Amino acid sequence: MTEMVYGTVPIRAGDPVLPRWWRTVDKWTMSCVLMLFGIGLLLGLAASPPLAAKNGFDAFHYVERQAIFGAMALGVMLLVSMMSPDLVRRLGVLGFVAAFVALLMLPFLGTDFGKGAVRWYSLGFASVQPSEFLKPAFVILAAWLMSAAQDVNGPPGRALSLAVALVVVGFLAMQPDFGQAALVLFAWGVMYFVAGASLILLVALAGGVIVAGMVAYQNSEHFARRIDGFLSPEIDPRTQLGYAVNAIQEGGFFGVGVGEGQVKWSLPDAHTDFIIAVAAEEYGLILVLAIIMLYAMIVLRSLYRLMRERDSFIRLAGTGLVCMFGVQALINMGVAVKLLPAKGMTLPFVSYGGSSIIAGGIAVGALMAFTRTRPQGEIGDILRRRGRR
């Protein structure tokens, strides 16, 4: 009777957790994440020794730290992927509260590490960037509010989620961190669209973003300098963008050879924001295309599985997480080839960075938990049964 009502049951009652998880998790997504992490370590071997020498560390100091952060991230990813969607939702809401409080305290307890924006807490042995953890937690909170709005006599979840999004975006912009603010707003817009958006509201929001950009351009020298650099037809070869573009051009199709690249000696952020330039210079277009295909596989596989999901919270949260993940990768690579204005944003699971990779592990773990096969009827099953009536 259960199969007649809900479709084929993919798991058996009483199964141990690990065998059940292994049968229901999306192994393609997990494999792509592992390959991206492996590529990140490979590129770290090339990109980080110059910076380590400059700072007086052992040659592979940053690679070793990346391996430690990566092991932590993969462990968290697997743990979260084994959780039920309800548990992920509860922890996500609590995580949002904690990350938002940490964001509020940054002006008093945070540091800028000489980069002009107070975004980190210094722990001595490492640093923590609250905005990285805030992003996946915000997506889960917003999805919960939007899905609750679909219940009979439910709360005005869409309006509440918009209010939360605007508050978060405002605090991120004040750091300033316009890139993370844009990601949060983009994720909210995608979820709102999937939830059945009003076109008028989306157009109004787009207009508001344009107006906010103009105001930021007039009042923020940091923002205006990056926009001017992006709009300029000439690329200053002495800037980070100039070095990155030149490295990509030098790499060609097959690259200049392992360890033969020169951009890592010129770029201070070669192991983080511009890691794709190192990949393009030493390994050529082949590795860059492989990286793009891995990100595309994660996004498309996840969206395909979410399209068949009948639970509105899971569908909204999963869509927000995977779209944020894919767009962050797109922004990082787009900046390196001057398709987008310069923005300090890491390449997920490839760039160096403890907060980035661990938060990425949490986000992808939640995504894998949402896309696991469960004993429920998929939307397609329901529509087919209705069509036969």
Summarised one tens digit per residue, pLDDT across range 43-83 is 988 888 888 888 888 888 889 999 999 999 999 999 999 99
Q: Please, which residues have CB within 8 angstroms of residue 345's CB and are 6 or more apart in sequence?
A: 179, 180, 273, 328, 331, 332, 335
Tens of pLDDT, residue by residue over 13-27, are: 556 788 889 999 999
Q: What tens digit of pLDDT does each residue of 342-357 get? A: 777 889 999 988 899 9
User: Does residue 331 or residue 201 have the better pLDDT?
Assistant: 331
Regarding pTM above 0.85, the answer is yes
pLDDT digits (tens, 9 = 90+) for 97-107: 999 999 999 98
Q: What does the pLDDT average to over 142-154?
A: 88
Lowest mean pLDDT among 10-14, 27-31, 253-257: 10-14
Nearest to 137 by CA among 373, 355, 359, 384: 359
Query: What percent of the chain has a predicted confidence (pLDDT) above 70?
Result: 91
pLDDT of residue 7: 41
Most confident listed range (109-123, 149-163, 215-229, 234-248):
149-163
Report how far apart, in Å, the C-alpha atoms of 63 and of each of 7, 43, 69, 122, 333 are: 47, 9, 10, 20, 21
Q: Are 183 and 324 in contact (CB under 8 A)?
A: yes
Closest CA to 273 of 190, 175, 171, 351: 351
Question: 385 versus 208: which is more confidently predicted?
Answer: 208
Residue 40 confidence (pLDDT) above 90: yes
Residue 33 near residue 325, CB atoms below 8 Å: no
Q: What is the pLDDT of residues 286-328, one digit of tens each?
A: 999 999 999 999 999 999 999 988 899 999 999 999 999 999 9
Least confident of 59-68, 74-83, 119-128, 177-186: 119-128
Q: Which one has a higher pLDDT value, 163 or 202?
A: 163
In degrees, to the nearest 5, what angle opens at C-alpha 171 toward C-alphas 108 and 154?
125
Q: How far apart are CA 349 and CA 354, in angstroms?
A: 10
At 88, the pLDDT band (50, 70, 90 cuts) reads very high
pLDDT of residue 5: 38
Across the range 20-45, mean pLDDT stands at 93
CA angle 335, 336, 339 (to 5 degrees): 45
